[in-house]
Amino acid sequence: MKQPIRCIALLLALATPAAFGKATPEEAAKLGGELTAVGAVKAGNADGSIPEWAGKSAFSEKMLTMTRSDLEKLRTNLPKDLEKNLPKGTRFAEIVKQAQELLNQGKGPEAADLILKYQPSYVKDFITYKVYGKDPAEFVKPLYIVTKANLPQYGKYLTEGHKALFKTYPTYRMVVYPTVRNAFFPDEIYAATKKNATSASLTGTDKVEGAELGFPFPIPKGGAEPLWNHKLKFRGSAVQRYNNQAIVKPDGSFKITKLVEDVLFVYANLKDRSMAKTGSPMIAYYLSETKEPPRVAGQFTLVHEKIGPGVEARSAWIYSPGLGRVNRAPDVGFDNPAIGTDGEQFYDQVDVFNGALERYSYKLIGRKEVLIPYNSWILNSPTFKYADIMRPGHMNQDFCRYELHRVWVVEATLAPGQRHQLKKRTFYLDEDSWSIAAVDGYDNRDQLWKFQEAHLLTIPFIPTVSGIPETIYDLQTKRYFLTTMTNEDPVSNFEIKYDEKTFSPAALQRRASKR
């Protein structure tokens, strides 16, 4: 009888998803010590190319306390500021051209000086960091430029996606600057994260329990946990933003799709904790309205994002002006193409990755030093138009900022019996913020197909870390998709307040009917 009992016990163990996540008290005690409050290694690397974590200390009090009104005033006064700063009769586009010529001559620091000279003062302030005992001017001068010619020298610091872009486009390059580890979050998030370290668990890929407000897994034990840290990170309590998107053809031509997005965060909400304290599985409410182009204007997408399983992980509705009513939308997720992207963005590629994790198996590879986009304030400057950012084949790399950072590497492989157009994904998550910075996406022939990149920046007045813009390179069609561009629009309203009732299907129907 003993042998059958052992077999039954083994079968039951295999059939029950393992629970991971909880750190030991000894491990959790390291948070805020040798580890930062969110689990990053506080110290720099051996050769100093990655410095110690600086966090909030990298920003002045002025940067920390900026309001939306302050920022919007600076943005609207920009034409006058530029007129005062630029040489008479010169347009900023001409400055951009001069800087590109300097970069082509290998004069990276001179190009950086030229661009910075004519930036509005607040953009300069965001990137002249007073940290590490260095002259702030050092942080705005490139260290080196990675090109196809010197690729072997820096290959060990590149994602497979970056290597593919170098192979595909002779004009592709990466301008690398000194690393500044300035990611930080509110103190309430830090305190909650420390509690979560010993209380939160993950069963299977989607059942998170025992976590509240902060990062659930600052000391991850399995591959799915870093992705949950990304999904549940603090992003502010609510936001309304313009989201400009474009599919860029191989010849560089593009058309803009403009969305206005309303988001109410439930899990990581500091302004109204009552929403999450009820034990609700809700993560966030999301509502988008398409403004342009005219053929899709007036379309709304409503999403209720939840923690599963045991609940419906995502509920979604769509309002189409042609139908005139709100309908349930069961296909807003996974590898279904997002509306208006012509198949270049799947729904689960929004925010680099979102939604249920259930279709993949996850392996935690560990930490690695990688060049990723970081502190991308120049790229997001209102001095640039969207046409300045887009080039044939790839973004205008001359004004992207790369830094060497430690990242967590997670490998996701399609689980048996599941389907997805991406058979395998390799995620690279910034260790200081748990933000996904890059993803290598492979098709069902095991060929590298879609490479995603998020240009990270720490937004000190919220505070959070976000990817603006995000890019998806299609290595087969030679097109790429840009999203979350904000250069030409008002500053996102991170001070807005919403009621949960705003995000009901009935409220959507009423709002759409009044248009």
pLDDT surpasses 90 at 82: no
Q: Say whether pLDDT at 14 is over 50.
A: no
DSSP string computed for 429-493? EETTT--EEEEEEE-TTS-EEEEEEEEEEEETTTTEEEEEEEEEEETTT--EEEEEE-TTSPPPB
CA distance 202 to 225: 7
CA 78 centroid distance within chain: 27
Task: Report pLDDT for 276.
Answer: 66
Predicted confidence (pLDDT) at residue 15 exceeds the cutoff of 50: no
- Copy the structure tokens of residue 81: 């500021």
Average pLDDT over residues 454-480: 97
Query: For the residues 15-40, what does the mean pLDDT come to?
Result: 85
Query: In this predicted structure, what is the pLDDT of residue 431?
Result: 98
**Where residue 460 falls among pLDDT bands split at 50, 70, 90?**
very high
d(CA 208, CA 214): 13
pLDDT for res 399 = 86
The per-residue pLDDT of the chain, averaged, comes to 91
Residues 394-433: pLDDT tens digits?
999 988 999 999 999 999 999 999 999 999 999 999 999 9
Whole-number pLDDT of residue 21: 67
* Confidence band, pLDDT 50/70/90 cuts, at residue 1: very low
Mean pLDDT on 88-102: 82
Q: Tell me the mean pLDDT in the region 268-278.
A: 80
- Which of 76, 201, 188, 59 lies closest to 136 in space, CA to CA? 59
Mean pLDDT over 443-472 rounds to 97
pLDDT digits (tens, 9 = 90+) for 182-218: 999 999 999 999 999 999 999 999 999 999 999 999 9
Q: Tell me, what amino acid is at 195?
A: K
Rounded average pLDDT over 458-476: 97
Written as six digits, the tokens of 235 are 């992003």
* Residue 267 pLDDT > 90: yes
Query: Confidence class of residue 16 from pLDDT cuts 50, 70 and 90?
Result: very low
Whether the predicted pLDDT of 275 surpasses 60: yes
When pLDDT is cut at 50, 70 and 90, the band that residue 7 belongs to is very low
Average pLDDT of the segment spanning 247-274: 94
Tokens of 14: 């295999």
Q: What is the pLDDT of residue 19?
A: 60
Residue 4 confidence (pLDDT) above 50 = no
For 458-465, what is the mean pLDDT?
97
Residue 340: pLDDT band (50, 70, 90) is confident
- Among 103-117, 318-332, 440-454, the minimum mean pLDDT is found in 103-117
pLDDT band at 121 (very low <50, low <70, confident <90, very high): confident
Is 243's pLDDT higher than 50?
Answer: yes
Q: Hey, is 99 helix, strand or coil? A: helix
pLDDT of residue 451: 98
CB 146 within 8 Å of CB 370: no
Confidence of residue 434 (pLDDT cuts 50, 70, 90): very high
Name the more confident of 113 and 317: 317
- Say if residue 490 is exposed, middle or buried (CB neighbours under 10 Å; 0-12, 13-18, 19+): middle
CA distance 148 to 164: 11
According to DSSP, the β-strands at 424-430 and 402-414 are: antiparallel
Higher pLDDT, 122 or 319: 319
Is the pLDDT reported for residue 9 higher than 80? no
% residues pLDDT > 90 (the chain): 74
Could you tell me how far CA 82 lies from the centroid of its own chain? 30
Distance of CA 207 to the CA centre of its chain: 23
pLDDT bucket at 352, cuts 50 / 70 / 90: very high
Spatial CA neighbour of 142 closest among 172, 178, 114, 117: 178
What are the pLDDT digits (tens) for 475-514?
A: 999 999 999 999 999 999 999 999 999 999 999 999 998 8
**Beta carbons within 10 angstroms of residue 47's beta carbon:** 7
Q: What is the mean pLDDT of residues 281-306?
A: 93
Those residues with Cβ within 8 angstroms of residue 135's Cβ, 6 or more apart along the chain or in another chain: none
- pLDDT exceeds cutoff 60 at 18: no
Burial category of 483 from C-beta neighbours within 10 Å (exposed 0-12, middle 13-18, buried 19 and up): buried
Answer for the pair 474, 344: CB distance below 8 angstroms, yes or no: yes
Query: Would the pLDDT of 157 be above 90?
Result: yes
Range among 127-136, 245-254, 381-390 with highest mean pLDDT value? 245-254
With both helix axes pointing from N to C terminus, report the angle between 92-104 and 108-117 in degrees, rounded to the nearest 10.
170
Which pLDDT value is given to residue 106?
Answer: 80
pLDDT of 88 strictly over 80: no
* Tokens encoding 453: 């990149």
Q: What is the pLDDT of residue 96?
A: 81
Read off the pLDDT of each residue in 220-224 and give the average, rounded to a whole number.
Answer: 97
